[in-house]
Chains A and B, each alone.
Chain A
Amino acid sequence: MSDKRGQCISGGEILLEQLLIQGVDTIFGYPGGAIMPAYDCLYDYLDRLRHILVRHEQGAIHAAQGYARTKGVPGFVMVTSGPGATNVITGVADAMIDSTPVVVVAGQVSSTLLGSDAFQETDLIGMTTPVTKWSYQIRRPEDVAWAVARAFYIAGSGRPGPVVLDFTRDAQIGKAEFEPRSCDFIRSYIALPEPSDEAIRQAAEWINAARKPLVVYGQGIILSGAEQALEAFLDKADIPAGSTLLGLSALASDNPHFMGMLGMHGNLAPNIMTQECDLLIAVGMRFDDRVTGNLSTYARNAKIIHIDIDPSEIGKNVPAGLGILGDAKEVLTRLTARIQPRSCPDWAMEPILCNAVEKHKVIDPEIHPESGPLNPGEVIAAVSDRCRGEAVILTDVGQNQMLAARYSRFTRSRSFISSGGLGTMGFGLPAAIGAKIAAPERTVIAFLGDGGIQMTLQELGTIMQEGTGVKIVLLNNNWLGNVRMWQELFFRERYSCTRMLNPDFRGIAEAYGIPCVNVESRDELGPAIERMLAGDGPFILNAHIREESMVFPMIPPGKSVDQIMLNAQDWFEYGD
């Protein structure tokens, strides 16, 4: 227990004491005027609180997100007011839509100056309210411990999300008696809704009666720690399952029930099976438009059971015949007890047919090309194979992301971290720093494009200073690849503003003291991966990939999930 209990200490010090009580060990941050009193207190706590000095506040929040998603605890960010605070907003919005627990403390001008347009004053609460689970301005040292305890409870419980605390300078300096606080109850907020027995009984009945049931799951499985519960459920009822982008790694890639990824660039099998199933069981996912395609035809033959912890998700996009409100692990465990053991022979054909076509038409040409320039998928598959599916895979946004999702193998949960809902370019590099700090014993690979890496390139400085052993695989073709692909397919090859003149990345790496190797041909790839993984330190593998790289299969925007392009010419025709 803290020896500061009962003492009169400054608000800044109360913050740090309460952070220790919350179990925080790492602060991702950047100091500045309005947060300086708290940083001054931190000087005496650096033996207990590791501070990672990022190079831009956006890097701090993405690193905290990577940390939170790897470790399963809230990430913590400390920045100054004004620009320091506005620079974290992209990451706060990202954490909101991807349900990532992070707590941000931002400095604020003294309460006496609020509303006076003081230097570096900005209405942070006003700006972050729509993209936070909770935001609160701390104006008195007496409120610090309470607000921090409440912030961590809200961020980490129920459907997790970001919390912003706007901490005025005078509340950091002023003193109050420190009384450690804990928070596990707020009367207006139900973190864990109690699933209805009746709904579970009804769901079990539907599952027992279904001929072709399909599970579609999302990150809710990981957030709830329901990986084993899901596996047991699928085993008992012999139900195949497809994952959303953020659900990846909740089931091992070689799990016999795992059909692959859903949605726009997902695998054929789970998308086709969505249209063929007579019962769709959605768990901890929110029917994002990238998953559902055209909503009016989505799962058109199926009754739908939607299991989610957030009442506002049930029925939001897809009308659920049956909604079950509750924690995924609890609901799945109770459902498993209720259902009959069985097998689903009616599903025999779909996966075999779909997988054969996908392998022949898409996967083999992408990862085993006979000649020509390197394909991005080929690089990803080679790295993933070499890591035997044990690495934490981070991505940026775009083709690198979709291909990393498609061609990475996973053997354990919390191994795929990507900006899903917001699609934040620049996420990958700083998030990888946070992931490596959260799990130093694991190999952390960041697949980045040449566009995304340059949005937060300055974080190479953080890697240099901290010696963070992030392995960066740069899929470099001097194009904004995903936009270029859309221009080719949907904008009559009018390549508007997508060609990039890039710097010498090896020269940049060298300036930061990070080893880097350029890979230009197939022969160089294997040895470069070996070299990258040989040491514990950071590394950049700069892979020169095919300029006109594409990501297939693709469900074009607005199409149904069974209207799938296999390449620029061919459409998948199931059942013909």
Chain B
Amino acid sequence: METESLYEITAYTENQVGLLSAIAGIFTRRSLNIEKLLVYPSKIEGIHKFKILTRASETQIRSVVLQIEKKVDVIKAYYAIDTQRSDQEIEDVKDFLSRREETNR
């Protein structure tokens, strides 16, 4: 049995009705309890941020994060034990969005 730790998952998303329940469902299906949940506008205009604390194994967390990112309206999802990476994520999301805009041009 893999050891469980408290992980922080962050997801950057479009601001869409129903996304909270779509993401929550991913946890429910795996019997993972959400210890803490925050949803708020991120530092990028028009992009929302989910911050979710949950206790699980790293294998489970990796799978959960990929499932979150698979949702059409989710832009990027991350996980970590430490929480010192927020600025890095913002740069990463901005970079992703500008590359996506280029693809669309």
* B-binding residues in A (CB < 8 A): 125-126, 129-130, 133-137, 154, 185-190, 310-312, 315-316
B66: interface (CB < 8 Å): yes
Task: Tell me which of B72, B75, B100 contacts A154 (CB under 8 A).
Answer: B72
Q: Which of A125, A133, A315 contacts B18 (CB 8 A)?
A: A125
Given A188-B74, A188-B75, do A312 and B66 touch, yes or no (CB 8 Å)?
Answer: yes
The dominant DSSP class at the A interface is: mixed
Interface string of B63-82 (1 = CB under 8 A from A): 10011011011110000000
- Whether B13 lies near A188 (C-beta < 8 A) is yes
Q: Which residues of B contact A133 (CB under 8 A)?
A: 72
Is the pair B70, A185 in contact by a Cβ cutoff of 8 Å? no
- Contact A134 B25, beta carbon cutoff 8 Å: no
A312 to B74, CA, bound (A): 14
- CB pair A312–B73 under 8 Å, yes or no, is no
The answer, among A125, A136, A312, for a CB contact under 8 Å with B67, is A312
Given the known interface contacts A187-B101, A312-B63, A312-B66, the answer about A134 and B21 at a Cβ–Cβ threshold of 8 Å is: no
- Complex contact A137–B103 (CB within 8 A): no
Verify B14–A316 contact, CB threshold 8 A.
Answer: no
B-side interface mostly: helix
A95 to chain B, nearest CB (A): 16
Task: Indicate whether B22 reaches chain A with its CB closer than 8 angstroms.
Answer: yes
Which residues from chain B contact A137 at a C-beta distance below 8 Å? 17-18
A312: B residues at CB distance < 8 A: 63, 66-67, 69-70
User: Which 6 residue pairs spanning A and B have beta carbons closest together?
Assistant: A312-B66, A188-B75, A187-B100, A185-B104, A189-B72, A134-B72
Number of chain B interface residues as a range? 20 to 34
**Chain B: CB-nearest residue to A189:** B72
Task: Convert B81-105 into 0s and 1s, putting 1 for each residue whose CB lies closer than 8 angstroms to a CB of A.
Answer: 0000000000000000100110110
Q: Which of chain B's residues have a CB closer than 8 A to the CB of A130?
A: 22, 25, 29
Given A134-B72, A312-B63, A312-B67, is A188 in contact with B25 using a C-beta cutoff of 8 Å?
A: no
The interface centre, meaning the residue of A135, A136, A186, A312 with most chain B CB atoms within 10 A of its CB, is A312
Cα–Cα distance between A186 and B72 once the two chains are bound (Å)? 8
Q: What 19 additional pairs, Cβ within 8 angstroms, besides A188-B75, A311-B70? A: A126-B18, A126-B21, A129-B25, A130-B22, A130-B25, A133-B72, A134-B72, A136-B18, A137-B18, A154-B72, A185-B103, A185-B104, A186-B72, A187-B100, A187-B101, A187-B104, A188-B14, A188-B72, A315-B62
Bound-state CA distance A133–B73 (Å) is 10
Residues of A within 8 A of B72 (CB): 133-134, 154, 186, 188-189
Determine the residue in chain A with the shortest Cβ distance to B12: A188
Looking across the interface, which residue of chain A has its beta carbon closest to that of B22? A129
Query: For the complex, what is the distance from the CA of A188 to the CA of B73, rounded to whole Å?
Result: 6
- B75's closest neighbor in chain A, by CB? A188
Within the assembled complex, what's the spacing in Å between the Cα atoms of A72 and B77?
Answer: 31
Contact pick for A129, options B14, B18, B67, CB 8 Å:
B18
By a CB distance below 8 angstroms, the chain B residues around A154 are 72
CA distance A311 to B66 in the complex (A): 7
Q: Complex formed: what's the CA distance from A392 to B70 in Å?
A: 32
CA gap between A154 and B103 in the complex, in Å = 17
Set of chain A residues within 8 Å of B18, measured between Cβ atoms: 125-126, 129, 135-137
**In the complex, which residues of chain A have a beta carbon less than 8 angstroms from the beta carbon of B67?**
312
Bound Cα distance from A215 to B70, whole angstroms: 26
A190 to B66, CA, bound (A): 13
Minimum distance in angstroms from A146 CB to a CB of chain B: 13
CB nearest neighbor in A for B65: A312
Determine the distance from Cα of A135 to Cα of B17 in the docked complex, in whole angstroms.
10
Q: Can you list 25 A-B pairs with a CB-CB distance of less than 8 A? A: A126-B18, A126-B21, A129-B18, A129-B22, A130-B22, A133-B72, A134-B72, A135-B18, A136-B18, A154-B72, A185-B103, A185-B104, A186-B72, A187-B75, A187-B101, A187-B104, A188-B72, A189-B72, A189-B73, A310-B70, A311-B69, A312-B63, A312-B67, A312-B69, A312-B70
Please provide the chain B residues from 3 to 54 with a CB less than 8 Å away from any CB of chain A in the complex.
Answer: 13-14, 17-18, 21-22, 25, 29
* Chain B contacts for A188, CB-based, 8 A: 13-14, 72-75
Q: Counting chain B CB atoms within 10 Å of each CB, which of A125, A129, A188 scores highest?
A: A188
Which of A129, A133, A136, A316 has the largest count of B CB atoms less than 10 A from its CB? A129
Contacts of A136 in B (CB 8 A): 18
CA distance A125 to B25 in the complex (A): 13
Which residue on B lies nearest to A184, using beta carbons? B104
Give the interface centre of A154, A189, A311 by most chain B CB atoms within 10 Å: A189
For the complex, what is the distance from the CA of A294 to the CA of B103, rounded to whole Å?
42
CB <8 Å contact, B63 and A316: yes
Residues in A neighbouring B25, C-beta threshold 8 A: 129-130
A186 to B97 CA separation, bound complex (whole angstroms): 11
Of chain A, the residue at the smallest CB distance from B100 is: A187
Question: Given known contacts A185-B103, A187-B104, A312-B63, is B21 in contact with A129 (CB within 8 Å)?
Answer: yes
Q: How far is the CB of A20 from chain B (nearest CB, A)?
A: 24
Complex CA gap A130/B66 in Å reads 15
Q: Cβ of B69: which chain A residues have Cβ within 8 Å of it?
A: 311-312
Give every chain A residue within 8 A of B97 (Cβ-Cβ). Answer: 187
**Distance (Å) between the CB of A415 and the closest chain B CB?**
30
Q: How far is the CB of B14 from chain A (nearest CB, A)?
A: 6
Could you tell me the distance in whole angstroms from the C-beta of A76 to the nearest C-beta in chain B?
19
CA distance A437 to B86 in the complex (A): 53
Distance, CA A137 to CA B101, complexed state (A): 26
Nearest residue (CB) in B for A317 is: B63
A324 to chain B, nearest CB (A): 16
Q: How many Å lie between the Cα of A316 and that of B104 in the bound state?
A: 30
B29 surroundings in chain A (CB, below 8 A): 130
B92 to chain A, nearest CB (A): 14
Give the residue name and chain of the A residue nearest to B67 (CB). A312
Residues of B close to A190: CB separation below 8 A: 100
Q: How far is the CA of A311 from the CA of B70 in the complex (A)?
A: 8
Set of chain B residues within 8 Å of A135, measured between Cβ atoms: 18
Q: Which residues of A contact B73 (CB under 8 A)?
A: 188-189
Shortest distance between the CB of B15 and any CB in chain A (Å): 11
Q: Which residues of A contact B17 (CB under 8 A)?
A: 137
